[in-house]
Amino acid sequence: MTSFQAALSTAKIIVILTGAGVSAASGIPTFRAAGGYWRTYESTSLATPQAFRKNPSRVWEFYHYRRDLVSQKQPNRAHFALAEFEKLRPNVHLITQNVDGLHAAAGSEPIEMHGSLFHVRCTSCGDEFEDRTNPICDSLAGKGAPDPDARDADIPLDLLPRHELCQRPVALTSSETGEKICIGGLLRPAVVWFNESLDPPVMNEIRVLLNRCDLLLVVGTSGIVYPAAGFASIVKSNGGKVAEFNLDPSEGADFDFVGPCEDLLPLALGVNV
Ligand code: BJW
Ligand code: ZN
């Protein structure tokens, strides 16, 4: 703790990378523990463009469930400690893999590298915008139950979330009348799925920060998913130090805080929350 706090006080650029563990105490399941299932599916298997192409109704049910869950949750002491620390130190930059918006709800301004549950993108015209309506379309009302025995709702394509002001409407057969209709493009969650590239301007901003960073805090992430999994080695190869906050001990961190980050971050950062 003493040597970490010395490094903290002398660091010129501090970057903080967070993952699902930061939101665990808010009641949001992480991806790779027991909570990483929705119905009988691994959550990560639904977070792919292939899953969406194959069964957009199922993937929309999964995201409707998560939007609804997150909208009922509050930031916890880990989010508040980071927000407080950012206020005290202007040289702190927060990057999150989380899509739940809880850092912003606590007063931070994070780079949301994997997007947001509350933004959508049109698969036809590419328009991207915030949409917090719940449910996002009538057909998802009461759907998305996570229990292993819940049945797929199999919502027809024309009744899934569609882009009302679409510049490139598409032709479909109406599931209600059987007639040809012209309808706004299918919306998808504006999150980064596996095998998709991160937004290039976002990645450039992150690269610049990592190259200047002399202390990286890695908080509540399994460190399995790239590109975030490579951030620590970039910082170390530039001579910077790495501190990890996780329930599990890490390999190769200069400072290892093992335990719940909602307890350890306020202590280590010296903030009252
Ligand atoms: C606590 C705690 C408490 C619990 N206190 N701790 C190089 C090598 C190999 C593969 C690749 C590579 N480069 C790219 C890839 C492919 C792929 C990848 O990384 N695959 C790996 C699985 C190997 N990456 C991609 O496809 C990325 N795209 C890309 O790189 O494009 C270019 C490219 C493509 C293909 C090939 C090569 C280049 C995109 C990745 C997008 C990830 N998307 C998701 C879903 C987002 C939307 C949604 O939420 O629905 O992002 S997957 C999921 O994992 C989500 C998370 O942000 C991400 C990371 O998970 P996280 O946050 O670490 O959660 P957990 O559950 O894994 O861990 C929680 C941790 O908290 C645990 O350690 C607990 O112990 C801890 N914890 N409670 C402290 N209270
Ligand atoms: Zn559109």
> In the chain, what are the domain boundaries?
1-28+75-114+197-273, 38-72+116-191
Q: How far apart are CA 18 and CA 219, in angstroms?
A: 5
Q: How far apart are CA 173 and CA 68, in angstroms?
A: 30
Helices (H), 89-141: 102-105
Ligand 1 mean position to 82 CA, how many Å?
21
Classify domain 1-28+75-114+197-273 by CATH number.
3.40.50.1220
> Pocket residues for ligand 1 (CB within 6 Å)?
19-21, 24-25, 30-32, 44, 47, 97, 99, 114, 191-197, 220-222, 224-227, 245-248, 260-262
Active site residue 93: no
Classify domain 38-72+116-191 by CATH number.
3.30.1600.10
Residue 32 pLDDT = 85
Pairing of strands 180-183, 215-219: unpaired
Question: What is the token pair recorded at 225?
Answer: 């998913």
Q: How far apart are CA 236 and CA 47, in angstroms?
A: 30
Residue 35 pLDDT = 72
Question: What is the token pair recorded at 258?
Answer: 């093992």
Q: Contact, 16 vs 94, CB < 8 A?
A: yes
The per-residue DSSP string of 218-235 comes to EES--S-STTGGGHHHHH
Peptide bond into 146 cis (omega under 30): no
With tokens 């899934």, the residue in question is 160
From residue 140, alpha-carbon distances to 41, 120, 134, 144, 157 in Å are 19, 15, 9, 7, 12
pLDDT means over runs of 10, the chain (273 residues): 95 97 96 85 94 98 97 98 96 98 98 98 98 97 96 97 97 96 98 96 97 97 96 97 96 95 98 94
Q: Which of 22, 59, 68, 194 to mutate to test the pocket of ligand 1 (most atoms within 8 A of CB)?
A: 194
Burial of 44 (0-12, 13-18, 19+ CB in 10 A): middle
Q: Contact, 83 vs 148, CB < 8 A?
A: no
With tokens 């400072």, the residue in question is 255
Q: Which residues of 111-146 are buried (b: 16+ CB within 10 A; e: fewer)?
A: bbbbbbbbbbbbbbbebeeebeeebbbebbeebbeb
Q: How far apart are CA 187 and CA 171, in angstroms?
A: 15
Ligand 1 mean position to 225 CA, how many Å?
3
Residue 254 pLDDT = 97
Q: How far apart are CA 6 and CA 1, in angstroms?
A: 9
Question: What is the token pair recorded at 224?
Answer: 């399995």
